[in-house]
Amino acid sequence: MSNKEIKASKKKNVQVAVRVRPMNSGEIDAKGRPIVKVDYVAKSIGLKEKSGVKTFGPFDRVYGPETTQSELYKELVTPLVKEVMSGYNCTIFAYGQTGTGKTFTMEGQHDDSADHSWDTDPTAGIIPRCLHHVFTELERQELDEYSVRISYVELYNEELFDLLGSGNYDQSRLRIFEDPIRKGGVIINGMEEVPVRNRNEVYRLLKMGAERRKTAATLMNVSSSRSHSVFTVTVVMRENTTTGEELLKQGKLYLVDLAGSENIGRSGALNARAREAGNINQSLLTLGRVITSLTSNAPHIPYRESKLTRILQDSLGGKSITTIIATLSPCSSNFEVCFFCCCIFCARS
């Protein structure tokens, strides 16, 4: 992404990328057909219908099934890390139907036996890769002092929990308060912020958080995340200028893995699962309204309608850059959800 494109992204605050995963074995065994066409030149997505091809776009970026983890990161995330290192806040959302690759995009897979650099690791997702990238940049800049802290929370049924908390899950419930100093800001009382020094510590904490995160089997996915997760990286940098002044910069990167958007009937959700799906869809709708309000410069932004948008308020407005990665299944069985949950949502953005 060029400097010109970064400036354009800043002006509109929100950029949208679409990632189409490959067909999986379940879809192939069920005789599903690939119906999604990626046009890299027009930056559009085509959905094949009986009457022809319905086209959506242009988007800021489109990625097909052959796109690697490294390729997506270099083009989409590297510019955002540079912004964070300059003291700005950025947010990346992974949004889409259950089972479309959101968690793979955000977390990826970890190979303990390999020793890759951040830009060559073939399987790492955005979260571990960006931490590896940040540490590499901090060492290269030879700062006088720096620190990196992470927090990891989940929002489940409109309740906030600390995935890095030391107690049991129920004891890790968090409360949100209005910040008395920063107008519109919030304070998450009791949230753990853990200092990290290398990528191995990041993988350990990711694994710890994943084991505590709420999942449940649905017809769409054997292990479906039933919560939104927010992984926050805070980078603080201190250096002395040639005139002896102390320069302090703080940047934040919010990495958000949204729960799968659900068609309650198709997912097989019953009773408690259906209530979960309803809460998930409601918070996703609120997020959509907030982003639409921001991009249209509306006088009122409905942050308070959902805890998800409340805790992300600092990262969505002002000079912050928000990137949405909409993940799609290419299979014919997912046409309606693909059309409604991803393409229309992105068009609003």
Alpha-carbon Rg of the chain, whole angstroms? 20
DSSP E strands, the chain = 14-20, 36-39, 44-49, 52-56, 61-63, 89-96, 145-156, 159-162, 173-178, 186-189, 194-195, 215-218, 221-225, 228-240, 246-257, 321-328
Q: Do the annotations mark residue 97 as ligand-binding?
A: yes
Instruction: Judge if the upstream peptide bond of residue 65 is cis by omega within 30 degrees of 0.
Output: no
What type of residue is 161? F
Residue 32 among known ligand-binding residues:
no
User: Containing H/E element for 307?
Assistant: helix 307-311
Q: CA 264 to CA 269: how far, in whole Å?
A: 5
Query: Does the annotation place 105 within a ligand binding site?
Result: no
Amino acid occupying residue 14: V
Determine if residue 232 is labeled as part of a ligand binding site: no
- The reply, when asked if residue 101 is annotated as ligand binding, is yes
3-class secondary-structure state, position 120: coil
Residue 70: half-sphere exposure toward Cβ, Cα within 13 Å: 8
Binding-site residues for ATP sit at 96-103
Binding-site residues sit at 96-103
